[in-house]
């Protein structure tokens, strides 16, 4: 998943949530043998409600040091170093948490301390059990898809009334991309998502790791590279909201948030709201699940479990979904989510659409290295 906030907003979030370097220093005198009232959290940007951390601190008397990142690789590098300093982290399940569990980077969950575990979606738990036997280390948090954010009016103005609004062809057909470059195209800077999208459009399995797939993907992006304005994982959201981009490859919740921001800005200015939409292309899309885990080196296991259990409260989970516009892994939160989000087929797709969603798998290391090198070359246009 998911890469979610512009730098200024991240800074504001850090301030609001008490962000800073992880700290083991208690905020008050700590009785001998008792766990100090400190919790170090490392999460994606803009991935809780505005008051989530504050309310947890008030209810539990635990000081939260809250840091954010914008790429799974950033988290993984800290975990791989063996002393992350964090107590709760939020990796994407596949392939990141999958290989991190295998490498022994996470502490086993004490489910006796997770009273709200029963609210989790059993299908998602079953899905995760394939990479985390017995759901011993990973707690499903949010899930979504990678698709297209489209400014319908601008795209139809450029391509005509019959523009293929429900297809990856909007982006990957060079004839379309050439006409849309003036109104702005952005693509994620993530080899997993970008390779997956291109391979799905080509009718190929994005998890196959076939020998010729890198050349196939190079050709797809080589044909549209002159028309892509930027490759980024955060700024595209604001560009889409303010009209600087009419077509973006992005995450479902990001596009929903951007659409809401654009509507609010237009209303405040007394102007018509832009016609923005998130589309899961008819060819299919990558589905991701973000999870919660406790690094093996955590020094505040009790506090970590308390925070996770708090997030599993259906009311808390629903409030988070209302803010971030992602589907919650909490089955009992859905009824509490704003109907505008719960009934949005881009956020909670119907079963016939879910059938075309693909879970990314961990590829052999040599294939993954080749993909990363190829993606770097694709971005540079070489």
The binding site consists of 190-193
CA distance 138 to 125: 9
Q: Are 172 and 225 in contact (CB under 8 A)?
A: no
Phi/psi at 286 (nearest 5 deg)?
A: -75, 130
Pair 288, 143: CB distance under 8 Å: yes
Number of C-beta neighbours around residue 61 at 10 A: 10
* Binding-site annotation, residues for spermidine: 190-193
Closest C-alpha to 217, from 363, 1, 3, 379: 379
Both tokens of residue 19?
Answer: 């962000």
In this structure, what token pair is assigned to residue 356?
Answer: 């075309």
Question: In sequence order, what DSSP letters do the residues of 230-282 get, joined into one string?
Answer: EE-SSHHHHHHHHTS-SEEEEEHHHHHHHHHHHHHHHHHHT-PPP-EEEE--T
């Amino acid at each position: 998943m998911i890469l979610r906030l512009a730098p200024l907003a991240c800074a504001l979030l850090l301030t609001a949530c008490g962000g800073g370097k992880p700290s083991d220093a208690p905020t008050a005198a700590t009785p001998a043998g008792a766990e100090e009232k400190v919790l170090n959290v490392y999460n994606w940007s803009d991935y809780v409600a505005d008051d989530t951390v504050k309310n947890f601190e008030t209810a539990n008397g635990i000081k939260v040091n809250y840091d954010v990142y914008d790429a799974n690789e950033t988290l993984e590098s800290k975990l791989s170093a063996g002393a992350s300093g964090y107590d709760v982290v939020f990796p994407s399940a596949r392939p990141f948490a999958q290989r991190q569990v295998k490498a022994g980077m996470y502490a086993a969950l004490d489910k006796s301390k997770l009273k709200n575990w029963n609210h989790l979606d059993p299908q998602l738990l079953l899905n995760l059990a394939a990479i985390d036997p017995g759901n011993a280390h990973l707690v499903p948090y949010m899930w979504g898809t990678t698709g297209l954010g489209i400014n319908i009016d601008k795209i139809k103005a450029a391509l005509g009334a019959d523009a293929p609004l429900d297809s990856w062809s909007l982006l990957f057909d060079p004839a379309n991309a050439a006409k849309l470059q003036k109104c702005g195209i952005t693509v994620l800077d993530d080899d997993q998502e970008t390779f997956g999208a291109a391979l799905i459009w080509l009718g190929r399995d994005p998890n196959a790791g076939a020998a010729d797939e890198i050349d196939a993907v190079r050709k797809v992006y080589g044909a549209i590279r002159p028309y892509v304005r930027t490759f980024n994982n955060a700024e595209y959201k604001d560009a889409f909201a303010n009209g600087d981009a009419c077509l973006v490859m992005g995450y479902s919740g990001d596009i929903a948030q951007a659409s809401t921001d654009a509507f609010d800005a237009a209303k405040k200015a007394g102007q018509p709201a832009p016609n923005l939409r998130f589309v899961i292309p008819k060819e299919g899309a990558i589905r991701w699940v973000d999870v919660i885990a406790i690094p093996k080196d955590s020094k505040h296991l009790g506090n970590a479990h308390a925070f996770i259990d708090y997030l599993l409260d259906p009311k808390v989970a629903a409030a988070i979904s209302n803010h971030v516009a992602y589907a919650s892994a909490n089955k009992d939160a859905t009824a509490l989510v704003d109907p505008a989000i719960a009934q949005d087929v881009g956020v909670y797709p119907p079963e016939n659409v879910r059938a075309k969603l693909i879970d990314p798998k961990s590829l052999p290391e040599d294939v993954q290295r080749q993909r990363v090198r190829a993606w770097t070359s694709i971005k540079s246009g070489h």
